[in-house]
C-alpha cells in the first residue's frame, strides 16, 4: 500500500480535470453575477405563455412549433388565454422581441452558446437593409467565415474564434 498516496492524488487530479468545465462556468458566472439586462417588448405585456413556462420550456415549445409547422402544416397556436398566434419564430417571437437584446443576452449569460436556429432563421430587424450580415461583410472586403463555420460544429464552439480567414479559402469560390 505504498502507492496509496500516488493513487489518491492521481484520482484527485483526474476528478479535477474531469469537472473543470463546471468550475470554469461557475467562476465565470460569479464574475459576471449581474443578471443580463433584458429589453422587453414595449408594445406588449403578455407573451404566448406565462413567463415561468417560457423561461423553463421555450426551447421545447419552439421544437413543438417546428414539428407542427414543417411536418403537419399546422400554423395556428391557441394560447392559454385563448388568443391565437401564428407558430413562427421570425414573425411571432421576433415580432415583439429583439434577438440581440433579449435572446442573445440571456443565452450569453447562461452560457448556452448559441442554439443554431440563426444559421437559417432570420432576424427581420437585422435584415433591414435586406442583406444578410454575412453578405454585408463579404462585400465589405472580408468575411469572417470561422464564426458561422464553428457554430455548425458544437464541440468546438466554446473557443471564440477571432482569426479572419480570407474569403478565397471558401471552396465555393475557387474553380
By CB under 8 A, name the binding residues for other proteins: 66, 70-71, 73, 75, 90-91, 116, 119-124, 127, 130-132, 134-135, 138, 143, 145-146, 148-150, 152-154, 156, 169-175
* Pairing outcome for strands 84-86 and 76-78: antiparallel
Q: 59: which 3 cell numbers?
A: 426551447
The least CB distance from residue 155 to other proteins, in Å, is 8
Q: 124: which 3 cell numbers?
A: 427581420
The least CB distance from residue 18 to other proteins, in Å, is 18
CB 148 within 8 A of CB 170: no
User: Is the CB of 6 or the CB of 153 nearer to other proteins?
Assistant: 153
The least CB distance from residue 84 to other proteins, in Å, is 15
User: Is the CB of 9 or the CB of 132 nearer to other proteins?
Assistant: 132
Helices within 4-159 (DSSP H only): 4-31, 51-72, 94-96, 105-110, 133-139, 145-151
User: Is the CB of 110 or the CB of 169 nearer to other proteins?
Assistant: 169
Phi, psi torsion values for 107, nearest 5 degrees = -60, -40
User: Is the CB of 42 or the CB of 171 nearer to other proteins?
Assistant: 171
The least CB distance from residue 67 to other proteins, in Å, is 9
Exposed (0-12), middle (13-18) or buried (19+): which is 167, by Cβ within 10 Å?
A: middle
The least CB distance from residue 162 to other proteins, in Å, is 15
CB 124 within 8 A of CB 118: no
User: Is the CB of 47 or the CB of 150 nearer to other proteins?
Assistant: 150
Amino acid at each position: 500500500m505504498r502507492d496509496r498516496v500516488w493513487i489518491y492524488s492521481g484520482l484527485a487530479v483526474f476528478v479535477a480535470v474531469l469537472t473543470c468545465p463546471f468550475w470554469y462556468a461557475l467562476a465565470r458566472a460569479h464574475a459576471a453575477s449581474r443578471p443580463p439586462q433584458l429589453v422587453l417588448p414595449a408594445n406588449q405585456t403578455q407573451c404566448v405563455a406565462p413567463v415561468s413556462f417560457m423561461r423553463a420550456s421555450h426551447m421545447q415549445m419552439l421544437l413543438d412549433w417546428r414539428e407542427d409547422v414543417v411536418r403537419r402544416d399546422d400554423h395556428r397556436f391557441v394560447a392559454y388565454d385563448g388568443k391565437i398566434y401564428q407558430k413562427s419564430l421570425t414573425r411571432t417571437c421576433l415580432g415583439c422581441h429583439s434577438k440581440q437584446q433579449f435572446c442573445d443576452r440571456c443565452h450569453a449569460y447562461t452560457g448556452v452558446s448559441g442554439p443554431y436556429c440563426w444559421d437559417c432563421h432570420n432576424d427581420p430587424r437585422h435584415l433591414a437593409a435586406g442583406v444578410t450580415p454575412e453578405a454585408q461583410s463579404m462585400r465589405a472586403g472580408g468575411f469572417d467565415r470561422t464564426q458561422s463555420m464553428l457554430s455548425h460544429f458544437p464541440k468546438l464552439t466554446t473557443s471564440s474564434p477571432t482569426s479572419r480567414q480570407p474569403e478565397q479559402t471558401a471552396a465555393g469560390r475557387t474553380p
